[in-house]
Structure 1
Amino acid sequence: MESLQTEVEQFGIKTTIVNPCFFRTELLTEESTNYANHPIDDYNEARMQEMQFWKGANAQQPGDPAKLAQALITITKEQNPPSRFLAGADAVGTAEQVATTLQQQAIAYRELSSSLAY
């Protein structure tokens, strides 16, 4: 998605990638959620755990969709909107964890990674 930004900015088009947290919508209701019709037996335990997670998360999502809508409207009015918007506290927390892990891996493999040039 980042590549789209460089392709369209010359036309005055601005883009923002939205990384949302969990928002309390109808997405996780029984009527909106579908699971595989032909599950693979080897994955049954993991599949059941995943299904329980999603069912338990329904109506417990911390994000307010009306507040998200207002935040997105605010961003669209900015002269220089962010290239990425982390929507919700849990989205920020996840991004921070990913950034920390990426930095740790970069440090751990700096020597090997840097030795690959001609």
Structure 2
Amino acid sequence: MESGTKMDNNKKVWFITGASKGFGLSLVKQLLCAGELVAATSRNQQELIKAVNNKSTNFLPLQVDLVNESSVSLALQHTYEVFGQIDVVINNAGYGIGGAIEELSDQETRHAFDVNVFATMNVIRYVMPYLRKQRSGHIINISSIAGITGGIGWSVYAAAKHAIIGLSEVLAQDVKSLGIKVTVVAPGAFRTSFLTGESLTMTSNPIEEYEDVRESHKRYLKMNGEQVGDPQKAAASIIKIAGEPDAPLYLLLGGDAYNRALHKLDLLHYEIRQWEDVTCSTDF
């Protein structure tokens, strides 16, 4: 394919971060099987190539430090030079972090936001010039049900995933007139490597008084390998909505996510109504 030549068929060009495991890997494999063009990122290119195990010229494996703006910019430039366009961007890279706020250092907390939030913003910042020029594109940000309703002991993770939901909501409004769609995905528990050491950091400074936090962590870690969600079905659902003219802003994945979100809506409705008098008493 000639460098920078725009595709003249129905194939989409996908740019997917965090592609060497979990949802990212499932997405890459399914898309390549469907004949799509996929640029995929990982911190380790060789691990990514081995995990995907596909020598097709439709696959562009990229070693990218998503926290580094220059690395992100060069990866997107390379993708555009090879495939001639970028249609769907999936910001999937991230990791979990467990602990009460005072159990996690400032450095641990900032790193969690760097990878889970600022990396996503870096990709959006540097892909937007390509999407604006095309007047088309679909940005899909992977958050979590924790971004809608967090669980005890996961405050920093929930805060980061809340941030992804907030920035996606406003991004969708900002880019709508440019012909660009935005979806934020909030999965529940899926049978990926999320609850293993490669995707999850736990506090190294547990404080004895946080008994409920310890119990919560035990419950989550015990769930590993028994989550109800099928990552292959999740990937297929994300692919299905990509590029749809009526693509949702919010896409929840998993029955557990659905039920937790409805419970949060009920709680919000109750508390907002319960304190209506105090809320409205502050107006002039």
Letter in 1 for 2:192: T
Shift of 1:10: 2.1
* TM-score when normalising by structure 1: 0.87
User: Among 242, 250, 254, which residue is 1:88 paired with?
Assistant: 254
Letter in 2 for 1:5: A
Q: Return 108-117 or 98-107, whichever deviates more.
A: 108-117
Correspondence 1:42 to 2:223: no
Partner of 1:20: 187
Partner of 1:56: 222
Shift of 1:33: 3.3
Shift of 1:41: 3.5
- Find the residue that maps to 1:14 and give its secondary structure: strand
CA deviations 1:15-37 (Å, max 9, x no partner) are: 11111110001111355433222
Structure 1 unpaired stretches of 5+:
none
- Find the residue that maps to 2:180 and give its secondary structure: coil
Give the Cα separation in 2 of the matches to 1:73 and 1:31: 25
Give the Cα separation in 1 of the matches to 2:278 and 2:256: 33
The structure showing larger relative contact order (alpha-carbon pairs under 8 Å, at least 6 residues apart) is: 1
- Find the residue that maps to 1:4 and give its secondary structure: helix
Partner of 2:265: 99
- Find the residue that maps to 2:282 and give its secondary structure: coil
Give the Cα separation in 1 of the matches to 2:222 and 2:184: 28
Structure with greater proportional helix content: 1
- Find the residue that maps to 2:186 and give its secondary structure: strand
Letter in 1 for 2:234: L
Identity of aligned residues (%): 32
Residues 58, 14 of structure 1: alpha-carbon distance in 2 compared, 3 angstrom cutoff: same
Structure 2 unpaired stretches of 5+:
1-166
Aligned residues: 117
Q: CA RMSD in A?
A: 1.6
Give the Cα separation in 2 of the matches to 1:97 and 1:15: 25
Structure with greater proportional strand content: 2
Partner of 2:173: 6
